[in-house]
């Protein structure tokens, strides 16, 4: 997956300017940077989630497996099936644990030989099966915050995406639940590519193969601040030997 010269607007406001990034398969890429630099905006553009925000507009090229995802003939629902998303706050449906996982395959009309097996394998892949296998009919809302987030990951995996986008998936979790999700991410990258937005630099350093650092620049003559990509490199390089002073200031905690 790649974006090239991407600008993203909300109405007249240019939130993100000139972003070019290539995401590796079976890799975890972290998007980091100070608040308002456009990380979530970029993430949402990768599976056309911005389509759902009134006034949001993407210019430039975003391709997935060589195909332009904003192409006229492309079905955004299919894009979102292949490029799934996990949100900041776990948002299980008010349904049973089983039905949360089965929901996506059912509504997308996926051909499934055994729904029971698909539910089990998705819950296993999300490291939740052992905790819920005896209460699959209970409501997903009855689980702990960390379990709910893993349920949302299972729900995302169930439709067999190629890429999983994660928007600060651990920000409302305690440190133990956070480490659990990070371990899970390491396992998931065997089968999926992952792009994660995180405020937590240690988290980026722990999980990501590559890291993109963004900042926000003030536009001349207006108070608007537009997000730009400063540097994109292997995570170790970003943290140990960044090329740009702004990256160094941010990762060393001097700014942001």
Distance of closest approach, residue 246 Cβ to ligand ATP, in angstroms? 15
Among 20, 22, 26, 53, binds ligand ATP (CB under 6 A): 53
Query: Is 15 among the residues that bind ligand ATP (CB under 6 A)?
Result: yes
The candidate with the shortest Cα–Cα distance to 244, out of 211, 218, 220, is 211
Q: Which stretch binds ligand ATP (CB under 6 A): 33-41, 104-112, 123-131, 235-243?
A: 33-41
Nearer to ligand ATP, 10 or 93 (CB): 10
CB contact set of 41 (below 8 Å; sequence gap of 6+): 8, 15, 16, 50, 227
Residues 154-173 that bind ligand ATP (CB under 6 A): none
Report phi then psi at 36, rounded to 5.
85, 5
Q: Tell me whether residue 243 is exposed, middle or buried, using C-beta atoms within 10 angstroms of its C-beta: 0 to 12, 13 to 18, 19 or more.
A: exposed
Cα separation, 116 vs 124, in Å, equals: 12
Paired tokens of 57: 């507009």
Query: Is 39 among the residues that bind ligand ATP (CB under 6 A)?
Result: yes
Strands, DSSP E only, in the chain?
2-10, 13-22, 28-32, 56-64, 67-68, 83-86, 163-167, 193-197, 210-218, 225-234
Q: Which stretch binds ligand ATP (CB under 6 A): 39-47, 104-112, 127-135, 154-162?
A: 39-47
Query: Is 100 among the residues that bind ligand ATP (CB under 6 A)?
Result: no
Query: Within a 13 Å sphere around the CA of 198, how many CA atoms are in the beta-carbon half?
Result: 25
Nearer to ligand ATP, 94 or 253 (CB): 253
Q: Quickly tell me which residue has 């702004």 as its tokens.
A: 246
Nearer to ligand ATP, 38 or 104 (CB): 38
- Using DSSP, state whether 133 is helix, strand or coil: coil
Query: Is 87 among the residues that bind ligand ATP (CB under 6 A)?
Result: no
Helix axes of 97-107 and 115-125: crossing angle, nearest 10 degrees:
110
Nearer to ligand ATP, 58 or 97 (CB): 58
Query: Measuring CA to CA, how many Å separate 121 from each of 14, 70, 96, 125, 128?
Result: 42, 32, 17, 6, 10
Q: Which stretch binds ligand ATP (CB under 6 A): 32-40, 78-86, 100-108, 178-186?
A: 32-40
Size of residue set near ligand ATP by CB under 6 A: 13
Q: Which stretch binds ligand ATP (CB under 6 A): 34-42, 130-138, 143-151, 179-187?
A: 34-42
Among 36, 60, 76, 145, binds ligand ATP (CB under 6 A): 36
Distance of closest approach, residue 140 Cβ to ligand ATP, in angstroms? 25
Residues 189-218 that bind ligand ATP (CB under 6 A): 199
Which residues are near ligand ATP by CB under 6 A? 10, 15, 33, 35-41, 53, 199, 227
């Amino acid at each position: 997956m790649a974006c090239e010269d991407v600008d993203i607007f909300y109405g007249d406001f240019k939130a993100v300017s000139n972003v070019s990034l290539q995401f590796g398969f079976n890799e975890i890429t972290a998007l980091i940077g100070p608040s308002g630099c456009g990380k979530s905006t970029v993430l949402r553009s990768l599976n056309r989630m911005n389509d759902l925000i009134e006034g949001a507009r993407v210019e430039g090229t975003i391709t997935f497996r060589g195909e332009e995802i904003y192409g006229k003939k492309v079905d955004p629902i299919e894009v979102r099936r292949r490029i799934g998303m996990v949100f900041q706050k776990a948002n299980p449906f008010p349904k049973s644990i089983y039905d949360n996982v089965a929901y996506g395959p059912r509504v997308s009309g996926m051909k499934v030989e055994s729904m029971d097996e698909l539910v089990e394998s998705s819950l296993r892949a999300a490291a939740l099966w052992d905790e819920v296998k005896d209460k699959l009919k209970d409501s997903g809302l009855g689980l702990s915050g960390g379990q709910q987030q893993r349920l949302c990951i299972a729900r995302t995996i169930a439709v067999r995406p190629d890429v999983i986008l994660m928007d600060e998936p651990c920000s409302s979790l305690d440190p133990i639940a956070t480490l659990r999700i990070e371990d899970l991410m390491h396992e998931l990258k065997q089968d999926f590519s992952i792009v994660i937005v995180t405020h937590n630099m240690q988290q980026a350093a722990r999980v990501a193969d590559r890291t993109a650092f963004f900042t926000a620049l003030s536009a001349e003559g207006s108070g608007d601040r537009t997000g730009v990509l400063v540097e994109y490199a292997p995570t170790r390089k970003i943290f140990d030997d960044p090329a740009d002073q702004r990256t160094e200031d941010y990762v060393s905690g001097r700014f942001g």
